[in-house]
Amino acid sequence: MRARADHGHPFPSSSEKEGGGALELLGFLPEELESLLESMGAPRYRGRQIAEWVYRKGATDLGALPNLPRELRDELRRRAVVGVPEIERRTPSADGSEKIVFRLEDGARVQSVLMPDGARLTLCVSTQVGCGFGCAFCYTGTMGLERNLSAAEITGQVAGVARALPPGQRLTHIVYMGMGEPLANYQATVRSLRLLTDPRALGFSPRRITVSTVGLASGIERLAREDLRVNLAISLHATSNDTRDRLMPVNKGFAIEELLAACRRFPLPFRQRMTFEYVLLDGVNDSPEDARRLARLLQGIRAKINLIPFNDWPGALFSRPPLPRILAFQQVLLERSITATVRWSKGEDIGAACGQLSEAVVA
């Protein structure tokens, strides 16, 4: 039976700011805005107008929306906010990417990474403050998990960056590969995906959004029932359970066999492939035999592999393999007709590359 979409109540508690109780409209789906305005005695179409202003035009001052009656604007200003997170710091990289630090309402900070690549402009967003999964090669895991982000805080990163772009630039792709595990913050992640893909909200094509997971098989099964049609990326990083247990504690709950079984059941849209991310660690998971095992493991899955040379961070116990070994690993996969690309992460010089994100939690 298909899971019920998480559309929730017209006044979702996850969209309320702590303390004041103001309704955070960035967490409302367009149909919920219609219900909200109806509950205030206004026609439902007023909700569609607000969705247009908030999501498509970037409006934040509800008291200044020109096509709403003054009484309605005043009521909205009393009851609701559009709380786009504050950009506290922007750090440019020599490769053109940019690390963006958002300060949230409670003082917590999360990072997004803006990555230009020709006509593409990709934003990597966070779903949690920190991360509780403790992958041994990931700097974010050293923070532990402070809290989940709300759907409004996730979409707020997109809205905040979009507002800060120069005229003529726009985001083309979104990846859920920042701080945190998206499927461990399931409801907020799914709600934010619906907001991103709803043509009446942010209007991104699902094919231009990728959700990355450490391999929560149960979460993958749930996501398969949502009919979101977004891309899925699996952080695999090892070809045996012994090695993956050491690198990724989540493997003790969802072994490789269970994870890949869930991946095989995941409904991929036509011509779409599942991405497997594989961080190459010198002397740990980078041997020709690892490459051959990886090819065998992925048999029967419409897959592509992103090989990510390890990005160093303070206190890391790993190092990047030499280039000849990276290329030899890739060649083994290519010879077995598996699409495998070496992904040199952007932003390594500013601590914004894959596995490098970490930030102080409070002021």
- Residue 362 confidence (pLDDT): 43
Q: What average pLDDT does this structure show over 346-363?
A: 49
Give 356 or 277, the one with higher predicted confidence.
277
Contact between 221 and 265 (Cβ < 8 Å): yes
Q: Which of 7-21, 126-140, 202-216, 316-330 has the lowest mean pLDDT?
A: 7-21
Confidence of residue 139 (pLDDT cuts 50, 70, 90): confident
The residue type found at 237 is: H
Domains located in the chain, CATH noted: 13-81 (1.10.150.530), 86-350 (3.20.20.70)
- Name the pairing type of β-strands 23-24 and 209-213: unpaired
In sequence order, the 6+-apart residues with CB closer than 8 A to the CB of 159 are 26, 55, 58, 84, 202
Whole-number percent of the chain with pLDDT over 70: 89
pLDDT in tens, 322-353: 999 999 999 999 999 999 999 876 545 555 44
Q: Residue 352's pLDDT is what?
A: 45
Residue 111: beta bridge partners? 101
What is the structure's pLDDT at 15?
47
pLDDT recorded at residue 354: 59
* pLDDT for 316: 83
Res. 355: pLDDT tops 90 = no
Tens-digit pLDDT profile for residues 191-238 = 999 999 999 999 999 999 999 999 999 999 999 999 999 999 999 999
* 207 neighbors 232 (Cβ within 8 angstroms): no
Task: Give me the pLDDT at residue 346, please.
Answer: 56
**Structure-model confidence comparison of residues 131 and 14, the more confident one:** 131
**pLDDT tens digit string along 68-98?**
999 999 999 999 999 899 999 999 888 889 9
Exposure string of 34-72, with b = 16+ CB inside 10 Å and e = fewer, is: bbbbeeeebeeebbbbbbbbbbeeebeebeebeebeeeb
**pLDDT for res 171:** 97
Over residues 35-39, the mean pLDDT reads 95
pTM of the model: 0.89
Q: What local confidence, expressed as pLDDT, does residue 93 receive?
A: 87
Query: Phi/psi at 17 (nearest 5 deg)?
Result: -70, 150
Share of the chain above pLDDT 90, in %: 78
